[in-house]
Amino acid sequence: MSSRSGLRAGLALTRPRQWPILSTQLAVGVLLAAPAGSPWPAGGPQPGPLAAAWLAWVVLLNGGTLAFNSAHDRDTGPVAYLSRPPVPPRGLASWSLGAMILGAAAGALGVGTMFGLVVAGCLALSVLYSHRRTRWKSRPGLDLAVNVVGYGGGTTLAGLLAGRAAGWAGDSSAGIWFVAAFALLFGSFYPLTQIYQAAADRARGDRTLATALGARRSLVLAMVLALAAGSALALGFRVGGATARTSWPLGAVALWILHLAWWWRQAERYGDVDHERGMYRALGLWAVIDAAVVLAWLV
């Protein structure tokens, strides 16, 4: 593999198609750092911490995490945000680990020490999740926990910290409930990313949550976690003094649960392509939940 084609393959395996999705969730955390009904901080937001947070979290940590995972998985079939993954170039694991370390340093310098520690903690989880010696992704329950803490809770917490560094100063007690809510919501989403890859995971010897539970029980777990996420959102709005429009995010979560319930009914006759489409529909509904939460909080 030439250096140019290796660079293209390495960049593709950071899965840039996912960056807008994670950028949106990071932005949700930033906006939830504001007091309810106050979308603009005094003097305007400082762009420096926001840019540093995006580079550290979305590009370096997240991109590095996905590339590090691909370096160890060597996928040949479709993975999330990449239908035809290229062959991982030599040295990808080392380069992606370096990118994550750089993300922790950039976050600490550009946003703050706590932000850097959150990135470093998620870096450690990424290595434990993917590395062949630990391989937490092949241990049902641990794979879920890593993604709940890292992608769901971690991204929202990173956004809150970046928002505070940029000038927003809302109620931190409400922020705790929002971190919990999106952690649980990602816990609901995570099994959906595995159901359509179950056959490939079994062939590789990975015992993921979805291969352990099967499609229907994975969807039941997803519905339970979504209910818990809705409860945490309601508590966040209550603590933050913004109960008037709580029905907006709760209605969006209800749409999510209805989608999962329909999927559960059809699961036995669905093939891998149908399950993959179900995951991408859930991504669309996640965007609806994000919009409902932000509008209800800031209006």
Domain boundaries along the sequence of the chain: 1-170, 171-299
Residues 63-84: what's their mean pLDDT? 79
DSSP letters spanning 230-298: HHHHHHHHHHTT-GGGTHHHHHHHHHHHHHHHHHHHHGGG--HHHHHHHHHHHHHHHHHHHHHHHHHHH
What digits encode the pLDDT tens for the residues 136-176? 887 888 889 998 999 899 999 999 999 999 998 877 899 99
Residues 109-117: what's their mean pLDDT? 97
Instruction: Quote the CA–CA distance of 14 and 62 in Å, as a whole number.
Output: 8
pTM, entire model = 0.90
Instruction: Output 252 or 272, whichever has higher pLDDT.
Output: 252
Residue 112 in contact with residue 155, Cβ under 8 Å?
no
**Per-residue model confidence (pLDDT) at position 208:** 82
Instruction: Output 286 or 81, whichever has higher pLDDT.
Output: 286
Q: Two tokens at 116?
A: 């850097």
Instruction: Output 245 or 224, whichever has higher pLDDT.
Output: 224
Q: Looking at domain 171-299, what is its CATH homologous superfamily?
A: UbiA prenyltransferase (1.20.120.1780)
